Amino acid sequence: MRKHLLVSVAVAVATATALTASSSSAHAAAPDEGAYKIKVLHSQKCLDVASSPAGAGATIVQNTCAGKNTQRFTLVKVLDHEPFYRIKTAAGLCWTRDGAEKTNDLVIRQQTCTTDFRQLFRIHALHKFDDVEYQAVYTTRHPALVDKCLHVYAVDYSDNVDLITYDCNDPSTGYKNDAFTFVPA
């Protein structure tokens, strides 16, 4: 059985130190570079690239897991000394947060890969639950931004629901719509 990493995908961090201090002392390592299917904990659906529009600008959504190429994402490590990644779609485009504001409800889209800080995600362990490691994934330490997590909008269980930024849930009591498992593809 493959080991699954359960993560909470958080964006735009002023510092990661506060979350590190509040997490348990036993942490899983960040996932290795490579291809993954990313499942949402609350719905058990897979993250996917929306079918319309195809190409740059398409949103990242949850859909029923179907083994489609659009449900395969590649983590590419950006820095050796910190677990910063670009998350690439099968089309070779990068996950990008819509805007640099420190607000909720910013959609995640696939866009041409650049050096834009909105395309950087940092994976960090938060909490262990049922022998699976929860992790947080941040973008940059840009001082104008606050901690945000990636969420499936409105804790929805339907297909084609957008992945957005939102305030992080408490991993022990939250809705788990900001927690994901990274399954090696």
pTM confidence score: 0.81
Q: How far apart are CA 92 and CA 54, in angstroms?
A: 12
In whole angstroms, give the CA distance from residue 122 to residue 47.
18
Which domains are delineated in the chain? 5-184 (2.80.10.50)
Give the mean model confidence (pLDDT) for residues 120-148: 61
β-bridge pairing 161-166 and 46-49 = unpaired
pLDDT in tens, 65-81: 999 999 999 999 987 77
* Cβ-proximal residues to 3 (8 Å cutoff; 6+ apart), any chain: none
- 149 and 134 Cβ atoms separated by less than 8 Å: no
**In the chain, % of residues over pLDDT 70:** 68
Q: According to the model, what pLDDT value does residue 182 have?
A: 86
Contact yes or no for 171/179 (Cβ under 8 A): yes
User: Would you give the DSSP letter of residue 125?
Assistant: E
Of the candidates 159, 153, 158, the residue with the CA atom closest to the CA atom of residue 175 = 153
Q: Does pLDDT of 140 surpass 80?
A: no
Q: What residues are paired with 5 via a beta bridge? A: 182
Q: For residue 165, which of 115, 95, 79 has the smallest C-alpha distance?
A: 95
Q: Among 83, 81, 85, 64, which Cα is nearest to 73's?
A: 85
List, for residues 16-43, the tens digit of each pLDDT value: 323 333 333 344 567 789 999 998 888 9
Q: Give the model's confidence band at 162: pLDDT under 50 very low, under 70 low, under 90 confident, else very high.
A: very high
pLDDT in tens, 106-118: 999 999 999 888 8
